[in-house]
Structure 1
């Protein structure tokens, strides 16, 4: 789901007064919100809609001076780009395993799906996200410095990313 802010402005006030009435916003048959019109102020809606192309309809009820009206428009909602961070131990003994924490963050909610961890450009482990975090056990370390990275598979709300890169 994505949070989208819509601003609907009523037409200029008729000479007899300022606009009143109500604006209703729908996604197909689903009510997204309604708001009273107060003078020339804009009407704003903060709604949650899932990714994809949505057909939204705004209906103005009218008032004593203005006739009712309706407009339909299409809105494309794309999946959000997540942030991916890896917390790995600074040092590990050769021949031991260790656990890294991978956090995938989203602006509105915790992403779901899987992460893949690479060491020196080679995929070595993966894990499922729970609440946006995965604890992934890495295989035994060899002697030397290593580069640990993680990539995210994506889900219905978030794009994959970033892909694990080589050294």
Structure 2
């Protein structure tokens, strides 16, 4: 199973593109700022290179996790000891990969798993943090919506093209 690293790099950009739209003042940006008691002036004070750079690095980490969640063949490769041991795997592994190596490798399938990751992983994490930080449900749902869309798109890209 070869990995398309360009697809992974593109998938990582999704967090920035969706965030630019989602948190814009015309969508949820104004509500999000109000829920966080932030102003435009306060947001401009941050080091944007650092924020966007680290966001992209964190997004690359997410793509690696989504790869194992959306591409089921990753599990088969793990069963033989990972990529370094594929060449020494038994012939049954090669036969299995010949039959099923591209099964469920579609954007649609990856998007489903990305959405499920958002619903069953991101939403609980955001919810727990939001509850302890005494944030509103509005705050929790704004962030959850962002991650549901982002992880859905990222999962689709990773599974369909990586």
TM-score, normalised to structure 2's length?
0.23
TM-score, normalised to structure 1's length?
0.22
Higher strand share: 1
More contact order relative to length (CA 8 Å, sep ≥ 6):
2
Higher helix share: 2
The structure that has the greater radius of gyration is: 1
